A and B are shown apart, each in its own frame.
Chain A
């Protein structure tokens, strides 16, 4: 048998109070696409950080072999030299710089310290062709969509002669088209001899692209499955990931929504003077009691802006139209007022807008509703601890203690903390913006069940989602947004992926 290009043997990595990796063995064959899957907090990202030298030799135990040679990385620079390129889930580009500057950032093509710009642009162009991105290399990264930024990131890594390309949830923030694009690119790279390791929670993706799949659970390797021997199926993956069968990802709901509208917008129009254009125009929507309404559309269609403008967070925008909440016309100048009136908004960007990363789980969960825990402005610490423990239990947040800083939690568990924070506000209308981004199948199922329970108790949910199966699986009714307008309203009985896409791309 050929020596694997990469072998990780008996890797164990501990953090205070957590054993993130426990004797993990991981082996990757040359020129394959190897998917790494597992629940939130299973240790996938940690394993890749060990591999790429973020956690240097000596902070973990075990062995890393590349082409059969033992490696001891003391930093990312070492692993780069050994041919490892990693793309983290959070993009690491400088928005204010051009595409070519970003591609060669840190590895500038220079002679005696002077940058050769012509050569830089020339090579950047070649890299961009390689990733099939047709943009002018002089474009600022800020002006590109996430999908294209992701490709620039790949071009950047490829420019360093990588043998092993690692991608940590690259498609989590991409729409279907961009994701498909990216997967095709990976296939092409594989055919040119680049070995890829891909972490993803989107099982469809894994099924379509993986040559081999390794499943981690609780920091241990559960199994390695070979797609070419037919070992990889959705059921097999789920069973190994969560340790039980989930037959229907979208739990059935017997409950019927009520008729009285909880939230309604009339001719809601948002104008951005700085951009000189309308962000939203004549939006009319309605969410009834006990109803889950899906807001489908492409990225950039204006759905997040719609949520934020309702929620009182629209700095510098000019808004006209009416907002009706629970039968009263309202107008929120600040999220504080929206929250007090019974609204909650779970942001799509948990790191930038959802969490205070340096604070702990307890402080984050109670942040939006501290007053409920205080008398005369003084926080009842014990009540606070109880609340935090309660949400940790009910949402199954994986953390050693509620005193853990959320920056140390895995991505999916951070998302659960965000959810917990907004559930503790006990809203009547809950706006979820990409609620299951980066969440594993098991936890997704739990969140869907939770949503069902919430609407049964009379809450109304407006769910923004770019994942069409999720929109179709969970909504009672769907609005499709495109170019800042509502392009159509579809009762769930007639909605289909094709119909939604048709409306979504219609400007």
Chain B
């Protein structure tokens, strides 16, 4: 009895203290449950979720880049049409220049990085507001996209390697563990759970060795079980359809890299310091200019990746590809908890934000809700998420 009361008290406290962190997960969960009910389970089917995640891909990678841009108190509006334009460049390179995917992808990524540097140039050197600099980019890339597709209209991509990026799945092992389920995906899920538990325990032990505050043992166990279940569930659902898609692999790799950079490296710390107080960062020997260039270049490169994912998914480059991507990415980042005041926000949050955002679209599509209402609902969710974020943050500070 006493232990039970203790458990509940711990649970309440842990949730209370970390409401912002867990809030997004809970919101995503709730949205999924609601749609599962309203669509009689179609939403939660393996096939639909697999599709949903593939659709999230090109917004998710943009949201990751945008998070860092917003963290350093800037914005990049150009990335939507930059993605569209670079997708078209990829299509042209494949179709008309007969270049193989293995050459086209790195080439386009580099072009994206360069485009990002170009946006950063007036921002870093002349202190032009990034809103204006990137608005110029928005116009320019929109025009460029129309120019390169002017003669041909939609460019169909026939290269199957390239198309697999947005539509393909990882190959399976020649053995079958559970009939009807993708074995490699299940195995990868199991490995991910193992790695997660191992690293969590290791880091907790390290903290204990330094006498740092850690979650109480029961809460820690609960967290491990909760997240392991989530990973397991995800793997199970994916394995039930075609297994892990290449898009998902790419997004996971991007998130892993960015999560690592932002939490573990000097570069990451410098980015957040510049966002938190540029003047103090500058006087501490951090070049604000350099950080600006790096963050915008990474944004450009991720825009290129987004363009590749989108073109590959559609198996073609269209004249309107990338329209409004930038705003979707910004919305995802804000839903995920970044702050316009700078210095606050993380990539995991933004990915969850992107998932929330795309889930809404997908769920409402399944329910056959009119697009007009869809926009309104998305707007309301955005506002609600930001209000939640701001109020929980204020509460956290006032104690």
Contact with A along B277-311 (1 / 0, CB 8 A): 10111111111000000000000000000000000
Contacts of B270 in A (CB 8 A): 370
Contacts of B281 in A (CB 8 A): 356, 367
Verify if B3 is at the interface (C-beta below 8 Å from A): no
A407–B344 Cα distance when bound, in Å, is: 14
Find A334's partner among B206, B266, B279, B287 (CB 8 Å cutoff).
B287
Verify if B213 is at the interface (C-beta below 8 Å from A): yes
Contact B283 A385, beta carbon cutoff 8 Å: no
Contact A357 B287, beta carbon cutoff 8 Å: no
Select from chain A the residue with minimum beta-carbon distance to B264: A378
A356/B280 contact (C-beta < 8 A), A370-B266, A374-B265 known: yes
Contacts of A334 in B (CB 8 A): 285, 287
Q: Which residue, of B272, B276, B280, B284, has the highest number of chain A Cβ atoms within 10 A?
A: B284
Contact with B along A336-371 (1 / 0, CB 8 A): 101110000101000011111111000100011011
Verify if B230 is at the interface (C-beta below 8 Å from A): no
Contact A313 B343, beta carbon cutoff 8 Å: no
Contact A359 B267, beta carbon cutoff 8 Å: no
Select from chain B the residue with minimum beta-carbon distance to A55: B398
A16–B395 Cα distance when bound, in Å, is: 11
Select from chain A the residue with minimum beta-carbon distance to B261: A377
Contact B277 A371, beta carbon cutoff 8 Å: no
Contacts of B397 in A (CB 8 A): 405, 407-408
Shortest beta-carbon distance, B387 to chain A, in Å? Answer: 20
Shortest beta-carbon distance, B78 to chain A, in Å? Answer: 27
B373-399 interface (Cβ within 8 A of A)? 397-399
Contact B264 A347, beta carbon cutoff 8 Å: no
Contact B282 A377, beta carbon cutoff 8 Å: no
Contacts of A407 in B (CB 8 A): 397
Contact B280 A335, beta carbon cutoff 8 Å: no
Contact A359 B206, beta carbon cutoff 8 Å: no
Select from chain B the residue with minimum beta-carbon distance to A380: B264
Verify if B223 is at the interface (C-beta below 8 Å from A): no
Verify if B47 is at the interface (C-beta below 8 Å from A): no
Find A367's partner among B212, B284, B287, B344 (CB 8 Å cutoff).
B284
A359/B398 contact (C-beta < 8 A), A336-B285, A378-B265 known: no
Contact A347 B283, beta carbon cutoff 8 Å: yes
Contact B343 A379, beta carbon cutoff 8 Å: no
Q: Which residue, of A313, A356, A357, A407, has the highest number of chain B Cβ atoms within 10 A?
A: A356
Contacts of A405 in B (CB 8 A): 397
Verify if A90 is at the interface (C-beta below 8 Å from B): no
Find A421's partner among B272, B284, B344 (CB 8 Å cutoff).
B284
Find A353's partner among B273, B276, B279 (CB 8 Å cutoff).
B279
A334–B280 Cα distance when bound, in Å, is: 13
Select from chain B the residue with minimum beta-carbon distance to A337: B285
Find A368's partner among B210, B264, B267, B285 (CB 8 Å cutoff).
B285
Contact A354 B280, beta carbon cutoff 8 Å: yes
Shortest beta-carbon distance, A314 to chain B, in Å? Answer: 12
Verify if A382 is at the interface (C-beta below 8 Å from B): yes
A252–B263 Cα distance when bound, in Å, is: 45
Q: Which residue, of A55, A345, A359, has the highest number of chain B Cβ atoms within 10 A?
A: A359
Shortest beta-carbon distance, B326 to chain A, in Å? Answer: 26
A467–B283 Cα distance when bound, in Å, is: 24
Contact A363 B269, beta carbon cutoff 8 Å: yes
Q: Which residues of A contact B (CB under 8 A)?
A: 14-16, 55, 59, 311, 313, 334-336, 338-340, 345, 347, 352-359, 363, 367-368, 370-371, 374, 377-379, 381-382, 385, 401, 405, 407-408, 421
Question: A335-B282, A370-B269 are known contacts; what are 5 more A-B pairs with Cβ within 8 Å?
Answer: A55-B398, A367-B281, A371-B266, A379-B269, A405-B397
Which 10 A-B pairs rank lowest in CB-CB distance, beginning with the nearest?
A: A356-B276, A336-B285, A368-B284, A339-B285, A15-B399, A356-B277, A370-B266, A367-B284, A335-B285, A353-B279
Q: List 30 A-B contacts (CB under 8 A).
A: A16-B399, A59-B398, A313-B282, A313-B283, A334-B287, A335-B282, A336-B285, A336-B286, A339-B285, A340-B285, A352-B280, A354-B280, A356-B280, A358-B276, A363-B269, A367-B281, A367-B284, A368-B285, A377-B265, A378-B264, A378-B265, A379-B265, A379-B266, A382-B206, A385-B210, A385-B212, A401-B213, A405-B397, A407-B397, A408-B397
